[in-house]
Amino acid sequence: MRAVKSVLTAAKNLKYEATRKQSRLQSKIGMSRGESINDNSSASAAGYNITNYSAEETEELLILKSIIDVNLPKFLADDIPLFHGIINDLFPDVALPPPSYADLQKCARKVLNKQNLQKRKKFMEKIIQLYDMIKCRHGLMLVGPANSGKTTTYRVLSDALTLVSSEAPSFEEKEVETYVINPKSITLAQLYGNYDAISQEFTDGVLGSIFRFCSYVKPN
């Protein structure tokens, strides 16, 4: 049930983003032509590329992309061909169009150049997978052996999103700040907070203090 919920949450986010982008694009076309654009044929005639899918095809593509985004990053290399085989059996006639992360990938390459890191295709895939997972989950873990690039992946993504917020505002991302905590260095009460039964006061832990700081001091 947890996996189903994750897939449905991802599908909802994709549907929301697709609807919002198409609405914004149609408004832009209408203002440029002085008229209202209500269908894909008019948008295409105006020189804009809006993929023409039926409602059923759109829902099918959203579910397929959600299943891939939620599950693919969790598999080992040997399991990926089996996963793709299952996907092809479940969606035999559905061709998933390649997602467009041009702005994010461009900024990620700039960050890699600045940090003197190699722009390997596999590493770029992991950055995009981490971004997709963050968009559909409240929390996640990066798991792998030492020196496998876990820390570098999230740091590069953080810097790339900060860069894309200024260079590509249409991507609709904001500046990213990270707060690193070592939970093994403190007690659970110090991490999450502690309730004093005598004074009946609650003392925020490190994690709660950071959430409060981000919510009130830096709401963006």
- The answer as to whether 213 is a domain residue is yes
83 and 113 together in one domain: no
Instruction: Note the pLDDT tens digit of each residue in 189-204.
Output: 889 888 888 888 888 8
DSSP 46: T
pLDDT higher at 103 or 18: 103
Residue 95's CB is within 10 A of a number of other CB atoms, namely: 7
In this prediction, residue 54 carries a pLDDT of: 40
Instruction: Note the pLDDT tens digit of each residue in 119-153.
Output: 898 899 899 889 888 877 778 888 888 988 999 99
- The answer as to whether 177 is a domain residue is no
Q: Is-contact 140 10, C-beta < 8 A?
A: no
CA 53, 57, 62, 68 torsion: positive or negative?
A: negative
Residue 136 sits in which domain range?
102-171
CA angle 140, 141, 143 (to 5 degrees): 150
Of 5-14, 103-112, 146-155, which range is least confident?
5-14
- State the average pLDDT over residues 148-172: 88
28 and 64 together in one domain: yes
CA 112, 116, 121, 124 torsion: positive or negative?
A: negative
pLDDT higher at 53 or 9: 9
The CATH number for 145's domain is 3.40.50.300
Give the best-scoring range by mean pLDDT among 18-27, 36-45, 102-111.
Answer: 102-111
User: Based on the structure, what is the number of domains in the chain?
Assistant: 3
Distance between CA atoms of 42 and 37, rounded to whole angstroms? Answer: 6
Tokens 């590509």, residue located: 168
Instruction: Note the pLDDT tens digit of each residue in 65-89.
Output: 777 777 777 777 788 888 778 878 7
Closest CA to 69 of 108, 151, 144, 13: 13
| C-alpha R_g of the chain | 21
15 and 61 together in one domain: yes
Closest CA to 94 of 54, 68, 61, 62: 61
In this prediction, residue 46 carries a pLDDT of: 37
Helix (H, G, I), strand (E, B) or coil at 220: coil
